[in-house]
Structure 1
Amino acid sequence: MHVMQYEITLPADYDMRIVHRRIATRGHLLDDHPGLGLKAYLVRERGRDGSPVNQYAPFYLWRTAEGMNSFLWGSGFRGLAADFGRPAVRHWLGAGLRRGPAVEGAPAAATRRAERLAEDADPAEAVERALAELPDHPDLHTAAVAVDPDRWELLRFALWRTTAPDGVSGTRYRVHHLSSPELDRLPAGRHW
């Protein structure tokens, strides 16, 4: 599994209805994209859910590198870059996945938490701990753990049926659409 996200931070007075319209009219274009586990169309709006910024921040779980490459080098990403400028694309190696009880529904919220691993930390132990801590909650849609081995950053991501439960830390997003053509083909559990 390959994990990818780019964040487009927009001006404080940006009309977020433009982003909402973009998602409403184009979100379905990846509903059957080969190699895509899921794409969550994530949005943060200044002053909502504690967000200090307006941001469009799509998040991807790719089943295949070919699927990811065909998106990045194809018309999908080109269109985004033409409209917003080319953002930096973050990429992590997938370490594990959990499907929750709410996986059949449409998620409304997401959380993402990234942390740098201490230089003396054993990365394998940190990943095992993060996998063991994946949420087991009735509102959980999907949760994933990933690692950026260049920065030694551990990433926890979760999609939620309504809102993130109390006690779940991290950046909070609203999910405006979910494309999940091959989510059922991503292996659950740890990925090694």
Structure 2
Amino acid sequence: MHAMQYEINLPADYDMEIIRRRVATKGHLLDNFPRLGLKAYLMRERAGASPVNQYAPFYLWAAPEGMNSFLWGPGFQGLVDDFGRPVVQHWTGLAYEEGPAAGAVPRTATRRRVRIPENEGPAFAVEQALAAHRELACADGVVAAAVAVDPRHWELLSFALWAEDPPEAMGDVFQVLHLSAPHRAELARGRQW
């Protein structure tokens, strides 16, 4: 499993209805995309609790070939044409679980990114992240949860989809505008090694 996200920061006075319309008209185009575990079309608004207006789709890929096919294909090029080429962040998957609300349509998502301190062993940090992930995945309202790592920057990522508003202090909170999940069943459950 591979996790991927790009963030498009928009001006403070940007009409976020443009993003909602974009997702409403184009979101379904990835509903059958090969090797895509899931894509959560995420958005944050300054009008809410967010410090920025942002469009930030999040992906879990069942296989790297799907990610490559998307990035070098017409779908991503359309985004580049409309917004410019964003930095594409990606992480190696450590674990994935379906939550107690797995059958629900997610309303919100949370993302937490934490750097692994230089004086902390990577294996210890990953084991701690896996323990926290198991606890998160069992929380009421969780649709699905993943944990991943970027070994280039030694950053851990925790991501969850929620059927309701998440508890406080879960990290960055996003609205889920649409969920494409053609190969969600193919995302390996549990620890990825």
- Normalised TM-score (structure 2): 0.96
Match runs of 1:116-127 below 5 Å = 116-127=115-126
* Alpha-carbon contact 1:127-1:145 (below 8 Å) kept: no
Residue identity matched to 1:184: A
**Counterpart Cα distance in 2 of 1:121 and 1:89:** 27
**Letter matched to residue 62 of structure 1:** W
Deviation at 1:130, TM superposition (A): 1.2
Q: Deviations over 1:91-131 (max 9, x none)?
A: 11001111101111210000101011011211122112111
Distance 1:37 1:68 in 2: 10
Q: Does 1:51 align with 2:53?
A: no
SS at match of 2:100: coil
Report the Cα distance in structure 2 between the residues aligned to 1:126 and 1:107, rounded to whole angstroms.
29
Instruction: Kindly report which structure 2 residues correspond to 1:74-153, keeping only aligned pairs within 5 A, or say none.
Output: 74-134=73-133, 135=136, 136-153=138-155
Question: Do residues 191 (structure 1) and 166 (structure 2) align?
Answer: no
Aligned to 2:26: 26
Runs of 4+ in 1 over 2 A off after TM superposition: none
Contact in 2 for aligned 1:95/1:146 (Cα 8 Å): yes
Read off the aligned partner of 1:96 and give its amino acid letter: A
Separation in structure 1 between the aligned mates of residue 54 and residue 92 of structure 2, nearest angstrom = 24
* Cα shift readout 1:10-62 (whole Å, capped 9, x = no counterpart): 000000000000000000000110100000000000031x1011000000000
**2:183 — aligned with what?**
182
Corresponding residue number in structure 2 for 1:170? 171
2:6 maps to which residue? 6
Residues of 1 paired with 2:100 and 2:184: CA distance?
Answer: 14
Percent identity (aligned): 59
| Secondary structure class of the residue paired with 1:82 | helix
Q: Give the count of matched residue pairs.
A: 190
Q: Is the aligned partner of 1:160 residue 2:166?
A: no
Corresponding residue number in structure 2 for 1:40 = 40
Secondary structure in 2 matching 1:19 = helix
Q: What SS does structure 1 have at the residue aligned with 2:161?
A: strand
Give the SS at the match of 2:86.
Answer: coil
Cα-to-partner distance string for 1:60-107 (whole Å, 9 max, x where unaligned)? 000111100110000110000001111010011001111101111210
Deviation string, structure 1 residues 109-157 (Cα, Å, up to 9, x no partner) = 0010101101121112211211111211120011111000000001111
CA distance in 2, matches of 1:58, 1:68: 13
RMSD of the alignment, in Å? 0.8
User: Is there any run of 5+ residues in structure 2 with no aligned partner, and where?
Assistant: none
Q: Which moved more, 1:168-177 or 1:147-156?
A: 168-177
**Structure 1: where are the runs of 5+ without partners?**
none
Write the distance in 2 (CA, Å) between the matches of 1:122 and 1:144.
21
The 8 Å contact of residues 109 and 164 in structure 1, kept in 2 or not, is answered as yes
TM-score (norm 1): 0.97
One-letter amino acid matched to 2:65: E
